[in-house]
Amino acid sequence: MHAAEDLELVGAVDKDDSLDALASAEVVVDFTHPDVVMGNLEWCIGNGIHPVVGTTGFDAGRLETVRGWLAASPGTNALIAPNFGIAAVLMMHFAQQAAKYFESAEIVELHHPNKADAPSGTARRTAELIAEARRKAGLGPSPDATTTELEGARGASVDGVHVHAVRLAGLIAHQEVILGGDGEILTIRHDTMNRSSFMPGVLLGVRRVQGLAGLTVGLDRLLDL
């Protein structure tokens, strides 16, 4: 963030530090832990500071609580996003938009072998968005004549969309959405090469959060799509 000339870094606090060092900030970026993020947000919003949040674990109840705090602090806004990678967010958005035009849709996600969950949260969410778009368009299940399957070969089914998870040394974080119809295929692929890929999305959030009204969930809401 030091490299963004239009922004000034007021302070940085680690997990046991007091938040007071941030009192003069206009925006606070929170990539902490589900156990502490709610306390951080209450303090920020109470002090009129706009939080930009990448911490996970926000369910409907937590979002409602944040909305309450924002209502009590007019002029303060918050951005909470499960993914700050712009390429990943665009991949999901385009997959959702395109899904209704194709007979078939599947997802292949590929990650380093230290990942604990399969498929990834991003793949699950993408599958849900595709499934929802297909339902709205009145599409039934993707065609599949498989009668003899070695267990697991056809992947996991997330809301009817087949999802395959590759785990391989050398990989980082990648996902391919493959949409197919009559003689044509559309593939939308996202490759994350390192953690700095989240930075442009965070900076976009920091620059835009003051202009948002109240609570915004998801980076895609800031992309003019």
The nearer residue to a second copy, 193 or 213, going by C-beta atoms, is 193
Distances in Å between the Cα of 32 and the Cα atoms of 35, 43, 183 are 8, 14, 47
Q: Name the token pair of 56.
A: 């996970």
The nearer residue to a second copy, 13 or 87, going by C-beta atoms, is 87
Candidates 90, 126, 107, 132; CA nearest to 187 is 107
* Beta bridge partners of residue 177, listed in sequence order: 107, 188
Q: Name the token pair of 68.
A: 């309450």
Minimal distance, residue 12 CB to a second copy, in Å: 20
Q: Backbone phi, then psi, for 162, in 5-degree steps?
A: -75, 130
The nearer residue to a second copy, 76 or 192, going by C-beta atoms, is 192
Minimal distance, residue 76 CB to a second copy, in Å: 27
Tell me which H or E stretch contains 77. none
Catalytic annotation present for 100: no
Minimal distance, residue 58 CB to a second copy, in Å: 20
Write the single-letter amino acid at 26: E
Selecting among 15, 33, 100, 111, the annotated active-site residue is: 111
Q: How far is residue 146's CA from residue 68's CA, in Å, rounded to a whole number?
A: 50
Candidates 20, 16, 18, 44; CA nearest to 30 is 44
Minimal distance, residue 141 CB to a second copy, in Å: 10
Q: Name the token pair of 66.
A: 């944040």
The nearer residue to a second copy, 18 or 148, going by C-beta atoms, is 148
Q: Which residues are designated catalytic?
A: 111, 115
